[in-house]
Structure 1
Amino acid sequence: MKKILFILLFTVFTSINGIAQGLTWHTNMDEAFDIAAKEEKPLMLFFTGSDWCGWCIKLQNEVFKTADFKKWAKDNVVLVELDYPKRTPQAQELKTQNYELQRMFNVRGYPTVFFANPQNMAEGKKNLNSLGSTGFVRGGAEKWLAVANNIIKK
């Protein structure tokens, strides 16, 4: 009886823990690129100032932390967070990667979300084909997801 109770509690805890963990936001672009290419999904690149940008925090709270977004993201995209914090320290390699991507996509404000298809080229080179971009959209997850779907379904 104790074994059955232990297995039941373990199963419940594991399920709750899996739900609480939510989504994987990659910070290494090479890893995210490879995953997206393998899964044949577009990348969702979230350019954010996580510790200072009010609209970025609002987008996270009203959209990215919702159950609707989590389900949609798992089914449709590979998530990449490209952060430009003011107070949170970052490794130099991460800063360099993020600023190169910011220049590449010509990001001028935060939050900006770009969707791009990964493409492996000859000689091991990688290419990102931009599908479009958005930022904060008023109306919560439903409205934001409608915009995102229009971009990735083109």
Structure 2
Amino acid sequence: MSKAIIKTDKGDMTVSFYDTDAPNTVANFKKLAKEGFYNGLAFHRVIPNFMVQGGCPFSKDASTAYKAGSGGPGYHIDCELTGELQYHDRGVLSMAHAGRNTGGSQFFICHSRANTAHLDRNHTCFGKVIENVDVVDDIRQGDKIISIEITEE
């Protein structure tokens, strides 16, 4: 089981990836993290009691912040929706998209199951915060992802 530490303005969260359930999504996220893609990006969309979203390259710079939420890595990945762990619960990482098979770099972390169950099998769940999930509650729009460190392969 592979893991990572998402370092943010509000603290660090340890994530365990769903390597078997969403192998391509996990591989894509880890590749981008190792390249430093996420370093300095903001959580550009925060909806209390629902989720925090980051991963848009336009969120890094004030001159492009007005486009935050519309960017990606320059390619799309397919959704992976058939695994056993494809349900949105507190702390789950899920791939954001603008329609089926249009994800790339943007992801969100869920606040609770109560407000995210309708996303099941529509967005790929690819990991879960296993340490310091309360950091998700502290994140506000504009808070930064300092870095994402892959700690176990």
Fold shared, TM-score > 0.5 on shorter chain? no
The structure with the greater share of residues assigned to helix is 1
The structure with the greater share of residues assigned to strand is 2
TM-score by length of 2: 0.30
* RCO higher in structure (CA 8 A, sep ≥6): 2
TM-score by length of 1: 0.30
| Pair member with larger Rg | 1
